[in-house]
Amino acid sequence: MGGLRATLLRAACGAGLNQRRDLSSWLTQWFSKGPAKSVVAQKTPIKVELVAGTTYRWCVCGRSKKQPFCDGSHFFQRTGLTPLKFKVQETRTAVLCTCKATQKPPYCDGTHKSERVQKAEVGSPL
């Protein structure tokens, strides 16, 4: 992506000053240096029914409004993060993490009970 960014910046140099600022700002936002941190979506897990053979996309970024699943917010907010795709072998109930601090994603491992998560603000990174 660095090559594309450099090419676009060179093209921007031929544009007027205001156009260059706008394009440069847009490029900096779009090609941010690294992925954003996940944020705490909620402080308690969500119990869901998972159907065998269905592909699910668990929200990694914490910004989805359809917790615990992805709604595309990671992309539209340019987080650089991607959802975790998973399937289950058998239809069953599962408890999925919403604090985004679990060590066993997408499943809750109880980390949400920690002081670190309980003291964090919803919508903020840990």
Q: Which is nearer to ligand FES, 79 or 101 (CB)?
A: 101
Q: Give the span between the Cα atoms of 124 and 8, in whole angstroms.
A: 33
Closest CB 89 distance from ligand FES, rounded Å: 22
Closest CB 87 distance from ligand FES, rounded Å: 20
Q: How many CB atoms are located within 10 Å of the residue 81 CB?
A: 21
Burial of 85 (0-12, 13-18, 19+ CB in 10 A): exposed
- Decide if 38 contacts 77 (C-beta within 8 A): no
Sole binder of ligand FES in the list 62, 70, 102, 120 (CB under 6 A): 102
Closest CB 52 distance from ligand FES, rounded Å: 23
Sole binder of ligand FES in the list 38, 39, 45, 56 (CB under 6 A): 45
Q: Does 40 bind ligand FES (CB under 6 A)?
A: no
Pairing of strands 92-96, 46-50: antiparallel
Residues that bind ligand FES (CB under 6 A): 45, 97-99, 101-102, 108-112
